[in-house]
Amino acid sequence: MIRIFIVGYQRSGTTLLQSLLGAHDMLATFSESHLFKAAFRTWRVYRPVYKRRGPITPKVEKFLHENGLQALGKSDAARALQAIDTRKWVSGIELAEAILTLFDQIAIFQEKPGWLEKTPQHLYYCDLIAAAAPTAHFVHIARQGEDAVASLVVHGPKWKNGHIYASPIRSARLWNTELKRSLKYANHPQHHFVTYEDLTEQTKSEVNRLVGELGLPPNPHLFERYQNIARHVVLPEESWKALNDQSIQKRSTAREVFKESERVKVQEVLNLDLYEWFRQLARGGREFPPES
């Protein structure tokens, strides 16, 4: 089974990337699941046995309903997750394997040999997922700091508990944190990298490169189908993703969102070297950046 995760800082082009790669004939794809985030608190991920964050079955049912997959509510994977919900203490690997098996069964249901999952914050669960599925691939995407932060400041507060993203300084610090987290996988063959800027400016070459790195055969129809995939994976209430089914173009938002004084403060917080290291990594460099 081909298993692929798209991860990275939110508002960095993850949905666009999902739409392009998800148009491949061999992959099933779906709306953001948030299942690892729902199941695990990040600081408990690496414990062999831990107390559950909360029941995961309602999240699974909601995810299946959103994607028209209610028939899988009685699948072996769904039943395994229901059984886990009856226990106070669980194995992290066991729970991760059950979530992965649910995604596997979606692919089988859709007669696909693999699947593509995109929840940006699953960046924090890469190690756990890899422990449960050593052959899984992770595609990291990054966007220039100012524009990524500006977009998050505008759209983040629309999400549940998204008020924390209203602060430009806090969102800029988060950008630093998450690029550092991506960069720690620089030398891992199962991790792949692309920037939003290169994806929007050199779409075909970047997508074809990633398709090859992921071990997928070339597919000439990706660029004809991606808009339909975008409509499929974006939920009606996700208005902040509304432009993903339109023509691909680079969008810069920082100057529209921030006053000049705010831009200066955000620029002071952002570690722009992180983006440069990430971009060089995406373009073929594999040398891990120095500590920062």
**Rounded distance, CA 242 to CA 216, Å?**
28
**Does any domain span residue 291?**
no
Backbone angles phi, psi at 205, to 5 degrees: -65, -40
Q: HSE, CB side, 13 Å, CA atoms: give it for residue 40.
A: 28
Q: Which residues, in sequence order, are CB contacts of 162 under 8 Å at separation 6+?
A: 156
Determine what percent of the chain is predicted with pLDDT higher than 90.
55
Note the pLDDT of residue 260. Answer: 83
> For residues 198 and 283, is the Cβ–Cβ distance under 8 A?
yes
Closest CA relative to residue 22, chosen from 6, 36, 7: 6
Whose structure tokens read 């929840």?
119
Note the pLDDT of residue 43. Answer: 46
Summary mean pLDDT of the chain? 86
CATH number of the structural domain spanning residue 173: 3.40.50.300
Closest CA relative to residue 178, chosen from 6, 9, 44: 9
* Packed helices 168-183 and 145-155: angle between N→C axes, nearest 10 degrees: 120
Closest CA relative to residue 39, chosen from 109, 108, 119: 119
**Rounded distance, CA 284 to CA 21, Å?**
19
**Does any domain span residue 204?**
yes
**Does any domain span residue 290?**
no
Q: Is the pLDDT of residue 95 over 60?
A: yes
Q: Give the total number of structural domains in the chain.
A: 1
**Does any domain span residue 255?**
yes
pLDDT tens string 227-256: 888 887 876 766 656 566 556 666 766 667
Residue 227's domain comprises 2-282
Q: How many CB atoms lie within 10 A of CB 132?
A: 20
Specify the amino acid at residue 210.
L
**Does any domain span residue 288?**
no
Give me the mean pLDDT over the 196-225 stretch.
93
Note the pLDDT of residue 50. Answer: 57
**Rounded distance, CA 280 to CA 259, Å?**
30
**Does any domain span residue 265?**
yes
Residues counted in the chain: 292
Whose structure tokens read 């975008």?
230
Question: How sure is the predictor about 133, in pLDDT bands with cuts at 50, 70 and 90?
Answer: very high
Q: Which residues pair with 141 in a beta bridge?
A: 8, 194
Give me the mean pLDDT over the 48-61 stretch.
73
Element (DSSP H or E) covering residue 139: strand 137-142
pLDDT tens string 74-85: 888 889 888 888
**Does any domain span residue 292?**
no
pLDDT tens string 169-182: 999 999 999 999 99
Q: Is the pLDDT of residue 287 over 50?
A: yes
**Does any domain span residue 289?**
no
Q: HSE, CB side, 13 Å, CA atoms: give it for residue 110.
A: 19
Note the pLDDT of residue 232. Answer: 79
Question: How sure is the predictor about 49, in pLDDT bands with cuts at 50, 70 and 90?
Answer: low
pTM: 0.90
Give me the mean pLDDT over the 154-174 stretch.
83
